[in-house]
Chain A
Amino acid sequence: MSVMLKVRNIETYYGPIMAIKGVSFDILEGAVVTILGANGAGKTTILKTLSSIMDPEKGTIEFMGQRIEGLPPEKIVAMGISQVPEGREVFHDLTVKENLLMGAYLRNDRAGIKRDIDMVYDYFPILKDRTAQLAGDMSGGQQQMVVIGRALMARPKLLMLDEPSLGLSPLLVKEIYQIIERINQEHNTTILLVEQNAPMALSIASHGFVLELGRIVMDDTCQALMANEDVQEFYLGIKEDSVRGAKRWKRKKKWR
């Protein structure tokens, strides 16, 4: 597998606050990679920087051999990077189908678009049943499906998902994740997954990064991450019980 995305030393600011303090990583073509981190660690900021919604103050981003930092976001989408934003941001007043077509806004191959809509309906049969319904009237899980479907309509080579499991029932989370896995396998779409639901993310990804306060503190295969003491205690919620049978305090993170 060749390197698809090469991120080097990016620093991104919100005004005077440095949210990403020098992050470098590679993503291989066809891989499923996850970034874990607590609230405010900078996960979303990384995605926004990659899709050029935010510009990095420093550092470079290379996508399939081409520098992309600072390009307008629509160029980035056209090059094959799509982001599924956090919080199921559908167009409330458009129907399901219209929402999906918005994802193909930059395309004009009618036949291809038609095929891809069918593909989305194949992944999410419920959307086909509700094709004329306003997206704003749908349930949270269905909205999540619309947003993922909309991103797929741009035929991304790299699909970036921001907390797809947020606020969904465990059953729906499982379903969404199965589909993410299918998208990766059937279309060789590279997946970058940002999650707080670490057990889910680690179960489908092959490689993972742990982000803390704008810096990567761990970089390893998901198998190794799952075996790591710190990941277990702080992200997987596994901890030894104390003698009292209840333990709230956390030991220091070491990340090694």
Chain B
Amino acid sequence: MTPSQINIQNETVPTLFWRRVHDWADNTALRAKVYGIWRKITWREYGQKARYAGLGLISLGLEKGDRVTIISENNPEWLFSDMGAMCAGGISVGIYPTDSPQQVEYVLNHCQAKFYIAEDEEQLDKVLEVRERTPHLKKIIVMDMEGLRHFEDDMFLSFDDLLELGRKMDEENPLLFEQRLREPQPEDTAILIYTSGTTGPPKGAMITHSNILNTMDMQNEVNPGDETDEVLSFLPLCHIAQRTVSVFAPLLTGGRINFVEEMDTIPQNMQEVSPTIFFAVPRIWEKFYSSLILTMKESTRFEKLAFKWATGIGQKLSDIRLHGQEPPAYLKVLFKFADWTVLRNLKKVIGLNRARYCMSGAAPISPDLLKFYHGLGLDIREVYGQTENCGPTTVHYSGQVKFGTVGQPLPRAQVKIAEDGEILLKGPHVFKGYFNDPEKTAETVIDGWLYTGDVGRIDEDGHLIITDRKKDIIITAGGKNITPSEIENQLKFSPYITDAVVIGDGRKYLTALIMVDDENVMKFAQENKVPFTTYASLTKAQEVVDLIQNEVEEVNKQFARVETIKKFRLIDIQLTTDDDEITPTGKLKRNFVNEKFKDVIESMY
């Protein structure tokens, strides 16, 4: 059955999922590594596990609309739990596995969760620490029982026990599951997505079945996928982008989801899977770029020339194409040759040699970076949107990539610019509101228009250009409006800079806090005989400061004088996703950084 034969408006996530389990029963739905070997999971198995998980939850007392939280790295059990909870009529809520016990407590209480499905001991300990203060919580379910064989507790059971409960219930009442999965209506909330609020506590966005299926449909119309697609799942599933890519999009396309083993193995897993569609955040694209550039730095002169020649042809070709013209035949032949001799190998290194198209989203990316990838012959498109509209709102359509913009609105999505420049959205993808927070909802959705908090404009071709977050715009002491993200993106383009925060609101001039790329800067230090011991001493080495100074000056050249960085400091601690200053997708959080490094910032003024 092809997607067009299904009327999305009559379906919910569970009903569509169940159709797929029947239609595609023997197709591979998921793959994950077990003891180092890729193991496939068919739609039939996916369906059965989700069915037992759902029925298991019902036998433990899940009622329609109850919240089920999941806290785990990406794995098949995540999806079994997610689908199971939704099929049983529950609302599925992902919690970041990097969250602290206090953050877990906040989410559990805010959504009044009845269930907590945890990956392992570590996630179990978090809830045990706070459960006295989470009165709604009924059961804790743990996937990985390592180290817990002898642990007994009235609230606790293993994921296998849950499936077994579900199996028994299925035997007793074989019709129950399909009854329950037809109960939710398209307008009912399917999932809650907690946004990592940089200001104030996180808010739970209510995403309905209709939101999800419409968004997938709109997106698929523009950038279609099919059952031959291979997708790599590695960004957190609690984030809307990865959730749609790994869980919801395959319901339409039938693409296969491959789970990475862990964050450190992404490069190897990329090469093994060689995804055909690849979505990543700018940080990952920056990382690939740096590793390619540094590989080229260490190569022979001949290889360097070949690289320059090949990417030159690639860029020429993509330039012509992106201007809507047909490139001359000789250039196409030349590119084929360049691809065959040079570019293909480079793409193999990063595992993108089979990619039909790639996407970048969830944060702004430097246009130069996109140009670089197009030069390699990779069709990389930018997508813009937010949790509150279930992910994508605008995207570069196939063959209509325009650098510096985030593309055109998806079909059936309306975009308009308010008088003050704020971007407003309307369409079937706009969410229902924030859970238990009518006030915030009323501030965010007015007359059906979603106020994004982003400022931007629409260009002559109908492409959306984002200026910045409304609240991030810097007004200097001189009264000049400056959009920091533009400068920050240029800084991040340097292989030595991972992220930067530009400061200057109400100040005389701009400064920046810079997080260096440890791998590349250590390499630099080694090559230039700069002694260092720890990360902190590395960031204090004069040669490293000079190196970054050069990078900053290069960026400064591209901007007007008021927009140049006058001073900067390097962040001298290695931030990890456990830290508040960084988001689970690896971005520096402006507010936290400004607070934590207050003294450092003051020292620059």
Whether A24 sits at the interface, judged by CB under 8 Å, is yes
Q: Is the CB of A249 within 8 A of B121?
A: yes
CB closest chain-B residue, reference A11: B526
Which of A209, A242, A251, A256 interacts with B533 by CB under 8 Å? A209
The segment out of B107-115, B122-130, B502-510 that lies at the interface is B122-130
CB neighbours (8 Å) of B533 from chain A are 23-25, 209, 216, 219
In Å, the complex CA distance between A22 and B528 comes to 11
User: Most chain-A Cβ atoms within 10 A of its Cβ — which of B120, B121, B525?
Assistant: B121
Q: Is the CB of A9 within 8 A of B535?
A: no
Q: Is the CB of A256 within 8 A of B151?
A: no
The segment out of B216-224, B315-323, B572-580 that lies at the interface is B572-580
Whether A110 sits at the interface, judged by CB under 8 Å, is no
CB neighbours (8 Å) of A251 from chain B are 578
Whether B522 sits at the interface, judged by CB under 8 Å, is yes
Q: Is the CB of B537 within 8 A of A22?
A: no
CB closest chain-A residue, reference B530: A9
CB neighbours (8 Å) of B574 from chain A are 254-256
Whether B327 sits at the interface, judged by CB under 8 Å, is no
CB neighbours (8 Å) of B537 from chain A are 219
In Å, the complex CA distance between A80 and B44 comes to 71
CB neighbours (8 Å) of B578 from chain A are 251-252, 254
CB neighbours (8 Å) of B121 from chain A are 247-249
Digitize A1-23: 1 where CB-to-B-CB distance is under 8 Å, 0 elsewhere.
Answer: 00000001101000000000111
In Å, the complex CA distance between A219 and B129 comes to 34
Q: Is the CB of B534 within 8 A of A24?
A: no
Digitize A214-256: 1 where CB-to-B-CB distance is under 8 Å, 0 elsewhere.
Answer: 0111110000000000000000000000111011110110111
CB neighbours (8 Å) of B535 from chain A are 217, 255-256
Digitize B513-539: 1 where CB-to-A-CB distance is under 8 Å, 0 elsewhere.
Answer: 000000000100110011111111100
User: Most chain-A Cβ atoms within 10 A of its Cβ — which of B128, B129, B533, B537?
Assistant: B533
CB neighbours (8 Å) of B122 from chain A are 249
CB neighbours (8 Å) of A58 from chain B are 526
The A interface, classified by DSSP as helix, strand, loop or mixed, is: strand
Q: Is the CB of A243 within 8 A of B125?
A: yes
In Å, the complex CA distance between A198 and B537 comes to 23
Assuming the contacts A58-B526, A244-B128, A255-B534, asked whether A249 and B120 have C-beta atoms less than 8 A apart, the reply is: yes
In Å, the complex CA distance between A9 and B528 comes to 9
In Å, the complex CA distance between A247 and B151 comes to 12
Q: Is the CB of B529 within 8 A of A218?
A: no
In Å, the complex CA distance between A210 and B578 comes to 21
Q: Is the CB of B531 within 8 A of A242?
A: no
CB neighbours (8 Å) of A246 from chain B are 147, 151
Q: Is the CB of A216 within 8 A of B530?
A: no
Assuming the contacts A22-B525, A242-B125, asked whether A9 and B576 have C-beta atoms less than 8 A apart, the reply is: no
CB neighbours (8 Å) of A255 from chain B are 534-535, 574
Assuming the contacts A9-B530, A254-B578, asked whether A244 and B536 have C-beta atoms less than 8 A apart, the reply is: no
In Å, the complex CA distance between A91 and B120 comes to 50
Q: Is the CB of B534 within 8 A of A218?
A: yes
Q: Is the CB of A9 within 8 A of B128?
A: no
Q: Is the CB of A242 within 8 A of B128?
A: yes
Q: How far is the CB of B154 from chain A (nearest CB, A)?
A: 14
Assuming the contacts A25-B533, A218-B534, asked whether A254 and B576 have C-beta atoms less than 8 A apart, the reply is: yes
Assuming the contacts A217-B535, A218-B534, asked whether A9 and B125 have C-beta atoms less than 8 A apart, the reply is: no
Q: Is the CB of B526 within 8 A of A242?
A: no
CB neighbours (8 Å) of A209 from chain B are 533
CB closest chain-B residue, reference A23: B533
Assuming the contacts A252-B576, A256-B573, asked whether A8 and B529 have C-beta atoms less than 8 A apart, the reply is: yes
In Å, the complex CA distance between A232 and B85 comes to 41
User: Most chain-B Cβ atoms within 10 A of its Cβ — which of A23, A24, A251, A255?
Assistant: A24
In Å, the complex CA distance between A219 and B532 comes to 10
Q: Is the CB of A22 within 8 A of B526?
A: yes
User: Most chain-A Cβ atoms within 10 A of its Cβ — which of B529, B530, B537?
Assistant: B529
In Å, the complex CA distance between A216 and B120 comes to 31
Digitize B549-589: 1 where CB-to-A-CB distance is under 8 Å, 0 elsewhere.
Answer: 00000000000000000000000011010100000000000
CB closest chain-A residue, reference B151: A244
Interface residues of B in 53-95 (CB under 8 A from A): none
Which residues on A are within 8 Å of B, measured CB to CB? 8-9, 11, 21-25, 58-60, 209, 215-219, 242-244, 246-249, 251-252, 254-256
Closest 9 CB pairs of A and B: A24-B531, A219-B533, A243-B128, A249-B122, A22-B526, A242-B125, A216-B533, A248-B147, A256-B573
- Chosen A-B contacts, 30 in total, with CB atoms closer than 8 Å, are A11-B526, A21-B522, A21-B526, A22-B525, A22-B532, A24-B532, A24-B533, A25-B533, A209-B533, A219-B534, A242-B125, A242-B128, A242-B129, A243-B125, A244-B124, A244-B125, A244-B151, A246-B147, A246-B151, A247-B125, A248-B121, A248-B147, A249-B121, A249-B147, A252-B576, A254-B573, A254-B578, A255-B574, A256-B536, A256-B574
- Known A218-B534, A248-B121, A256-B573; 10 more pairs at CB < 8 Å: A9-B525, A9-B526, A21-B526, A22-B525, A25-B533, A209-B533, A215-B522, A216-B534, A252-B578, A254-B576
